[in-house]
Structure 1
């Protein structure tokens, strides 16, 4: 397999030059090129696009970064983009992947993690650094907590009564006659039960009731 070429789009800082030297020694790439202005990058992408492109958040604000990635990926389908971000939010990182990046590293990521991301990309996988992955896991668990909090919105005594009758297979008309309430009232209770249990229909209600041992 031919070795890919890498272009680093970043300010010519000491760490960037140090990184390119380390990568030269690693012999992963046939060439490592540092590019530090948008015009030069545009020319490279137009004339001889590399297989790998690393973009630093030093160079573009987030909204411009989104646009830039969209343009690059639409014109260069095979290019693998690595973003070096500055502790971006989980939602921003997700959006970057949706736009077409293949790897996300934070600025505090170590060199060995950068190499791991390169190896993942060489195997056509995506890569997210450990620091960002931890933020994502925390974000997902807090989302789940919110969902659970919503699910804990308890059913009233009347809703529980109606839930059990739904599980017995009674129609809204049967329930209204049994409980001496109007069909409209039963329908309102039904809607609230579906909403609170986060289910779509009576089958979902029955499934929830069985799983939570409300009925046998």
Structure 2
């Protein structure tokens, strides 16, 4: 059965436009749009959706934190997607700590929104390319300072490959782009995951969010 989506956003013109695209792609069984928190709360209470998209344009940050907490306290199974407004990494981390499952930014594309939905359907978290790049930049900066959170620092080449992995490139793509063998790429990949103590590229994102890498 296809999941239900609720959109909490304004202006309605934008939300309705997104809704029509999603209806055409037949991703959700139903799509509801609200721009009043009271109406949204009543809707969630009576007919909770699997997915809830909240825009930063409709709530200030403190309200967003409290709303996420309240919604998930009443229904922990709702997967919340936040559309941020160039939030910094500390804010994004706090939102994930509150329980959201996906962070997109105002400049994220429709295709990236679809990618986030696919990740959530697989019970994974999703962070947009904007936030992911900030994470990579932060890790790069911390490497220069010999960050104690990563006791065995990544080499310059490992950082280069880490960024390409986070950009979604396969080992074959990386080997062709850097003019090195696939075996060399795989060796670097294994060392990166070992140093960060994670299992895959998704784990890199979780590492940054959950292991105090952001101050």
Could you state the TM-score of these two structures normalised by the residue count of structure 1?
0.66
Q: Which has the bigger relative contact order, CA under 8 A and spacing at least 6?
A: 2
In structure 2, how many angstroms separate the alpha carbons of the residues matched to 1:101 and 1:134?
19
Question: Which is further off, 137-146 or 72-81?
Answer: 137-146
1:37 is the counterpart of 2:36: yes
Could you tell me whether the CA contact under 8 Å between 1:12 and 1:34 is conserved in 2?
A: no
Residue matched to 2:57: 58
Provide the rounded CA distance (Å) in 1 between the counterparts of 2:79 and 2:97.
13
Whole-Å separation in 1 of the counterparts to 2:3 and 2:114:
14
How far apart are residue 125 of structure 1 and its match?
0.7
Residue of structure 2 equivalent to 1:49: 48
Deviations 1:76-112 (A, max 9, x none): 1110000000010001101111110000000000000
- Partner of 2:146, secondary structure, is helix
Contact 2:8/2:53 (8 A) holds in 1: yes
CA contact (8 A) 2:102 2:116 kept: yes
SS at match of 1:113: helix
Q: How does 1:159-178 map to 2 (within 5 A)?
A: none
Please report the RMSD computed on the Cα atoms of aligned residues, expressed in angstroms: 1.4
Match of 2:74 in 1: 75
User: Does residue 109 of the first structure (1) align with residue 132 of the second (2)?
Assistant: no
Aligned counterparts, 1:171-186, within 5 A: none
Deviations 1:136-194 (A, max 9, x none): 11122223333359xxxxxxxxxxxxxxxxxxxxxxxxxxxxxxxxxxxxxxxxxxxxx
The CA deviation at 1:128 is 0.4
Aligned length: 148
Q: Secondary structure at the match of 1:147?
A: coil
Q: Is the 8 A contact 2:12 2:35 kept in 1?
A: no
Counterparts of 1:148 and 1:45, CA distance in 2: 43
Query: Which structure has the larger Rg?
Result: 1
**Contact between 2:22 and 2:28, CA under 8 Å: does it hold in 1?**
yes
Query: Where do 5+ consecutive residues of structure 1 fail to align?
Result: 150-216
Which residue number in structure 2 is paired with residue 97 of structure 1? Answer: 96
Once residues 148 and 124 of structure 1 are traced to their aligned partners in structure 2, the CA distance between those partners, rounded to angstroms, is 31
Structure 1, residues 2-53: CA drift from partner, whole Å, max 9, x if none?
Answer: 1110000001343221100000111110011111111111101111111100
What is the match of residue 151 of structure 2?
none
- Structure 1 CA distance for aligned equivalents of residues 44 and 142 of structure 2: 39
